[in-house]
Structure 1
Amino acid sequence: MPGTIAFVGDSLTAAGRWDEWLPEFTVSNHAAGGATTADVLAEVDVVLANRPDAYVLLIGTNDLAWRKSVEHVVRNVESILATVHKHEPSTRMLVQSVLPREPEFAASIRDINRHLWQYSSTVRAQFLDLWPVLADENGALSPVHSEDGLHLTAAGYELWLDALRPAIERLFAVPTTTTPIDVLSDAISVSGLR
């Protein structure tokens, strides 16, 4: 099952010790503190230049801090996934739900996550719902999992990793698509189907 994984996202992902936690994979961490969906969208080509076997994404919480709409977050994440799928169709994709944070954001986060869950299969991405793993009864991160309501403690990362590891195993168990979409489009037009 070994392969290469590009982790992409914000400070939650940037702080992960993915190469230590997933030693069987070659890991690159393309996450940055404060990153938004627009930042990740602008850097998709940089990440894809390394031709990772898997693209693992967690992004969106900083957009909410900047008071961006649910639609803005969903549209940008959909664009990220569609771009990866179009340019590197053999790259496996795992999109993770936006993690809980302060209760005032709970409804928006749940709405974003519902949209991402629905969209992910249209681009052959898998979806990992971390809400039930990390949210408390108020839709926030518990003090055990976060000291500031946003960033994870060691216990929070442990729960995340417990959910992520089997998701990555499932991701690598799925066969990849090997023909780029533009090649398929050319083949269809040549055959007269367009």
Structure 2
Amino acid sequence: MLPRFLLAAGLFLLPVAAAAQYDSTYGSSYYRQKVTQFNAIPDKENGEIIFLGDSITDIAEWSDLFKNCLIKNRGISGDKTDGILNRLTEVTTRKPSRIFLMIGINDIADQVPDSVIVANYGRIMDRIRRETPATRLIVQSILPTNDSFTEFARHQHKTEHIRFVNTAIEKMALQRQYTYVNLYDAMCDSEGKLSSDYTNDGLHLKGAGYLVWKQLLQRKKLL
């Protein structure tokens, strides 16, 4: 059965991934290395800004990109929504001024049902509200992919699921009075794929893609 907030929003009418078999595991060696590193950083600076997510977040040099030393990168390559939930306490304990969240493409690639991904997003949002209520959460859409590239085949041909999750998390964010940022449309080419101007593997971003991201956040006066 779908979560109550999905039923209330009418989102049960949209396509949902098959729930028969899926892989929600996240605890790779790299994940554990990064989490232990984050936990080993005891100092908390006033006004920290945290970018939270998977490899698309992990790759970026956020503090250099925005010329802001208060920005902290909490991306972990390969992470999923369950992985975020498992390590969220380290983030909320820091009482950051803002959290920029993007997660879910690895869940989709591993056939985690859309309803499970969305439910996990709800748990993430609600925990942030409960554990650090003064923090402003900015929920960022999952990006499109481009199947012209073959390196990340499992992540391709998932457009209906990406769009479903994005629609759901936008509604959930607005219901909770959080900010939603549509990066999906900003990164699409004329065919609705992640533009080759912004990627060289069909999933991750090149520098030009991060500049688009930066400019969008700045135009919205979020950074």
Scaled by the length of structure 2, what TM-score is found? 0.71
* Equivalent residue number for residue 165 of structure 1: 218
Q: Does 1:3 align with 2:56?
A: no
Of residues 118, 122, 125, the one that matches 1:74 is 118
Output one character per residue of 1:124-144: Cα deviation in whole Å (capped at 9) or x when no partner. 210000111002233321221
Question: Could you tell me how far apart the structure 2 residues matched to 1:19 and 1:94 are?
Answer: 17
Aligned pair partner of 1:90 in 134, 158, 161: 134
User: CA offset at residue 24 of structure 1?
Assistant: 3.8
Q: 1:19 aligns with which of 63, 87, 91?
A: 63
Equivalent position of 1:115 in the other structure: 168
Q: Quick check: 2:55–2:77 contact (8 Å CA) kept in 1?
A: yes
Runs of 4+ in 1 over 6 A off after TM superposition: none
1:133 aligns with 2:186: yes
Paired residue for 1:151, among 204, 208, 211? 204
Q: Which residue, out of 89, 92, 108, partners 1:64?
A: 108
Q: CA deviation at 1:122?
A: 2.5
Q: Give the residue type in structure 1 aligned to 2:93.
A: A
Is 1:53 aligned to residue 97 of structure 2? yes
What is the distance in 2 between the residues matched to 1:118 and 1:154? 30
**Do the aligned residues in 1 keep the contact of 2:93 with 2:132 (CA within 8 Å)?**
no
Question: Partner residue of 2:144?
Answer: 100
> Which residue is 1:190 aligned to?
none
Deviations, residues 69-101 of structure 1 (Å, cap 9, x unaligned): 111111111110110011111000000000001
The corresponding residue for 1:189 is: none
Q: Report the alpha carbon displacement of residue 61 of structure 1 after superposing the two structures with TM.
A: 0.6
* 1:32 has 2:76 as partner: yes
Unaligned runs of 5+ residues in structure 1 are: 173-194
Percent sequence identity is 29
Amino acid in structure 2 at the alignment position of 1:166:
R
Residue type at the aligned position of 1:125: Y
Equivalent residues of 1:145, 1:152 under 8 A apart: yes
Amino acid at match of 1:36: K
Aligned length: 169
- Determine the C-alpha separation between the residues in 1 that align with 2:68 and 2:58: 19
**Residue identity matched to 1:12:** I
Alpha carbons 1:14, 1:31 under 8 Å: kept? yes
Unaligned runs of 5+ in 2: 1-45, 147-155
Deviation at 1:104, TM superposition (A): 1.3
* Superposed displacement of residue 165, structure 1: 2.3
Provide TM-score, normalisation by structure 1. Answer: 0.81
Q: 2: distance between equivalents of 1:137 and 1:23?
A: 32
